Chains A and B, each alone.
Chain A
Amino acid sequence: GAVVSQHPSRVICKSGTSVKIECRSLDFQATTMFWYRQFPKQSLMLMATSNEGSKATYEQGVEKDKFLINHASLTLSTLTVTSAHPEDSSFYICSASGLAGNSYEQYFGPGTRLTVT
């Protein structure tokens, strides 16, 4: 149980285009979803926290107009990287938290590797 999927697993796009990444909780209702970014040889950095049905809370330094987050249902959150630039190339990982079994742990998706050319 407690499976989280992400799609796509890998995407290459041209500079200036927008990319949407989906995060789904497959067997539990995720009341909260977290979006992280990880650059090579760096730790995971939390970008934003989203609760279903409300606006996401962004971490300091993360542009909310560039990284659009939608958490419209208890099983789906999307992250859209708008007008992507090469410096946005990174590993984007979502995690979902909700009552799965008897705990509220964060369960991680497999990540999306974004390359902007």
Chain B
Amino acid sequence: RKEVEQDPGPFNVPEGATVAFNCTYSNSASQSFFWYRQDCRKEPKLLMSVYSSGNEDGRFTAQLNRASQYISLLIRDSKLSDSATYLCVVKLPGAGNNRKLIWGLGTSLAVNP
């Protein structure tokens, strides 16, 4: 089983649609969780951290279910500029700055006019 699994997509949605991405992780000791966005041929950029209580940032809502080892990202009212690959990332336990990030394969989103 992969350490972080995501549906690679692609998801093709019209502008204004709501789209949800899911992610599962295998290491129950994982400490922190993130969603990153990566545009084609660019470096990944942090979209948001994911907290147990769930958190929202504008049109983006992230949820974490530790019992099921499941993370989700919901994008409402999608824009053309949301087209990108969304990466689910898990931080493993470890000492200080050496805690490793484990990356999912990414879910590709294409928002169409």
Contacts and interface: CB of A to CB of B under 8 A. Distances in A.
Interface in A85-117: 91, 93, 97-98, 104-106, 108-111, 113
A43 B103 contact: yes
Contact of A49 (B4, B87, B100, B104): B100
A105 B89 CA distance: 13
Given A42-B105, A43-B106, A32 B43 contact: no
A106 B98 CA distance: 10
Given A110-B42, A110-B43, A113-B41, A104 B97 contact: yes
Nearest to A40: B41
Given A42-B105, A43-B103, A32 B98 contact: yes
Contact of A97 (B45, B87, B97): B97
Size bracket of the A interface: 20 to 34
Interface string B95-109: 011101101111000
B100 A46 contact: yes
Contacts of B46: 105
Interface in B49-103: 87, 96-98, 100-101, 103
Interface residues of B, number: 17
B42 A111 contact: yes
A70 interface: no
Interface in B28-54: 41-46
A75 interface: no
Given A32-B97, A51-B97, 10 more contacts: A31-B97, A43-B4, A43-B105, A43-B106, A46-B100, A57-B98, A91-B41, A98-B97, A106-B101, A111-B43
Interface of A: 31-32, 34, 42-46, 49, 51, 57, 91, 93, 97-98, 104-106, 108-111, 113
Interface of B: 4, 41-46, 87, 96-98, 100-101, 103-106
